[in-house]
Amino acid sequence: MRLRVFAIRFAFLLVGLLVVLNVSCQTGEAAAAIAISEAEHDLALVYVAVLEAGEVGINVSSLLGRMNTVGDLLAKAEVCYGNGNFSGASYFAELASDDLAVFKDEAIEAARSFRAERAQALYLTVAGSAVGGFLVILTGLMGWGFVKARYIRKLSKMKPEAD
């Protein structure tokens, strides 16, 4: 009787342990899948930020090189996930997400500073053009005044002819 009760308790304990291990494995798998999914989403956001930076005229070749490095980390996470190494997959996905967070902020800041520089260059161009236009008009008016004064002087020196 005691052996039977012990065997039943051991069986319940063993089944409970297997359920807990299975749930923890599934939780690790789910966590890895979520981490990879978030890293892929972050990579898409960074790609858009780099694309916008390229559209405003920033040289994005170095940014694309860094994106390739992050893509390699994400590929390692996918390989680990496919091999059942969920902790490794989570590790590489979190590394990729951390790198992408810093990288995204840098890309956005680079685009913002480039836009500010372009706006300042535009203002300087407009101001320079306005000053240049003013100087051209002023020079034209002064030249016209000089020519008019010369014409009047020549006209006043002329003698009228009598018929």
Query: Which among 49, 82, 81, 80 is positioned nearest to 64, based on CA atoms?
Result: 49
Kindly report, residue by residue over 137-151, the tens digit of the pLDDT.
999 999 999 999 999
Structure confidence at residue 21 (pLDDT):
43
Give the confidence band of 163 by pLDDT, cuts at 50, 70, 90: low
In the predicted model, what is the mean pLDDT of residues 126-146? Answer: 95
Structure confidence at residue 137 (pLDDT):
96
Is the model's pLDDT at 19 over the cut of 50? no
Residue that wins the pLDDT comparison between 56 and 120? 120
Q: What is the per-residue DSSP string for 40-109?
A: HHHHHHHHHHHHHHHHTT---HHHHHHHHHHHHHHHHHHHHHHTT-HHHHHHHHHHHHHHHHHHHHHHHH
Query: Which among 80, 73, 89 is positioned nearest to 32, based on CA atoms?
Result: 89
